[in-house]
Amino acid sequence: MTKQRVLIPGGAGYIGSHIVLCVLLTRKYTVTVVDNFHNSFPESMTRVSQIARDELPADASQEDKDACTVDVVKGDMRDAKVLDGIFADYKQKGDAIWSVILVAALKAVGESGEIPIDYYEVNVSGLITLLRVMQTHEVTRLVYSSSATVYGIPKTIPIPESTPLAAESVYGRTKQMSELIIKDVCDAYPKTWRAIGLRYFNPAGAHPSGLIGEDPVGKPGNLLPLLAQMAVGKYRDPGLRVFGDDYPTPDGTCVRDYIHIMDLAGGHVNALEALDDDAKFKDTPTPGKYKAYNLGKGKGMSVLQMIDAMRKVSGYEYPYKVEGRRLGDVPDLTADPTLAEKELGFKAKYNLDDMASSLWNWQSKNPKGYTGQ
């Protein structure tokens, strides 16, 4: 069977590397990653290829062995010349790119309010550049990494996809705008374009091998990698800041739906395989073929619960200081994943203990990350 080639901008990062692995493990696709390594490392792709090879059956074909190697291009998705060259090169080789999974983005809620221009430039302008190049090369299949932050402060918990989009943060607004742009493209070209947006809740954990995991450049902007790095001594001063303890939640801290990274990554394979299924797009509200799905577990965990889960696996007693609420944060973001389960066959199987233990497995084996520095 001829393998279809998938382009994954941002594939070397935390989420991207696990997606690349899950796509490779289907043995149906070959993968090209384009990444500027702003918040990622080339070593992650070497390790992904290693895991993919290790999981091959003894009688694997040479084609399957070759497909475990990820083609990596250093470049920025905002650079149309780089993207055009990638699409053109593979087309010339007779191995044209079939679809794109777009993961590349700036993604910290707090930071987005501090450097909004950067977030709009990367997340929105970068998307437009990619869509234009895709259209030029007649590649019209897209899985888009969106975010639960598009919902803002939802009235219904757990959150269904029918919830109006009303993002509260700059980051959330870049994702909301991007979804609307993709939908408009699908509406304009209903006979060719098909896209699925995946609204992530909170990814956590790492691959069970401990070979790949989250290794942010600089101080982590998200809770779980910060907790892991504090436990190995990388960040301990001035300690942990908890933003707000007066929210309308069981312990006053923000509640988020944490989903294991392997579950999240697997959801992209479900979406990829759904792109050519007419039934998945039969009930879109407009002629265009764009649909969005929640990827979450359907169970919320508070900031203090996550701190306690990491304390149990790491043995580190986290000192923390409660500060005022942070701009853009909302009290509760818990998914209703029913639609993704029904239409994509998506089901999150890992629990909180799995997330904490796999994260600690990664961090304890790689206390200084991919580079050892």
The more confidently predicted of residues 310 and 218 is: 310
Q: What is the pLDDT of residue 4?
A: 97
Q: Do residues 343 and 293 lie in contact, with contact meaning Cβ atoms separated by under 8 Å?
A: yes
- Bond from prior residue into 158 cis (ω within 30 degrees of 0): yes
Burial classification of residue 241, based on how many CB atoms lie within 10 Å of its CB (0-12 exposed, 13-18 middle, 19 or more buried): exposed
What average pLDDT does range 225-229 have in this prediction? 94
126-157 confidence digits (pLDDT tens): 999 999 999 999 999 999 999 999 999 899 99
In the three-class reduction of DSSP (H, G, I as helix; E, B as strand; rest coil), residue 216 is classed as coil
Domain CATH number, residue 274: 3.40.50.720
Please indicate, yes or no, if residue 322 is contained in any of the structural domains.
Answer: yes
Over range 11-29, report the average pLDDT: 97
Active-site position among 29, 90, 151, 171: 171
Q: What percent of the chain has pLDDT over 90?
A: 88
> Quick check: 249 and 302 in contact, CB under 8 A?
yes
pLDDT of the residue at 286? 86
The reply to whether 98 falls in a domain is yes
Residue 370, in any domain of the structure: no
Cα–Cα distance between 237 and 98 in angstroms, integer? 47
Question: What is the reported pLDDT for 237?
Answer: 67
What is the count of structural domains for the chain?
1
The model's pLDDT over 100-121, given as tens digits with 9 standing for 90+, comes to 999 999 998 889 999 999 999 9
- pLDDT tens per residue, range 276-307: 898 899 888 888 999 999 999 999 999 999 99
Q: What is the pLDDT of residue 326?
A: 84
Percent of the residues in the chain that have a pLDDT greater than 70, as a whole number: 99
| Cα–Cα separations (whole angstroms), residue 31 to 90, 113, 277 | 11, 34, 21
Average pLDDT over residues 334-343: 97
In Å, what is the CA distance from 195 to each residue of 72, 191, 198, 257, 260?
24, 12, 10, 24, 24
Rounded to whole angstroms, how far apart are CA atoms 373 and 364?
14
Q: What pLDDT does 221 receive?
A: 79
Per the domain annotation, does 373 fall within a domain? no
- pLDDT tens across 71-85, in order? 999 999 999 999 999
Q: Active site includes 151?
A: no
What pTM value is reported for the model?
A: 0.96
The verdict on residue 78 lying in a domain is: yes
Residue 329: pLDDT band with limits 50, 70, 90? confident
Contact 117, 135 (CB under 8 A): no
More confident residue, 328 or 360: 360
DSSP state of 368: T
Provide the residue range defining the domain that includes 89. 4-365
pLDDT band at 373 (very low <50, low <70, confident <90, very high): low
Q: Is 349 exposed, middle or buried (0-12, 13-18, 19+ CB in 10 A)?
A: exposed
pLDDT mean over 343-370: 96
**371 lies in a domain?**
no
Q: Look at residues 148, 106, 109, 139 and name the one whose alpha carbon lies nearest to residue 125.
A: 106
Lowest mean per-residue pLDDT among 70-84, 221-235, 347-361 = 221-235
Q: What angle separates helix 80-92 from helix 126-136, to the nearest 10 degrees?
A: 30
Let me know: does 98 contact 141? Beta carbons within 8 Å: yes
pLDDT above 90: residue 181: yes
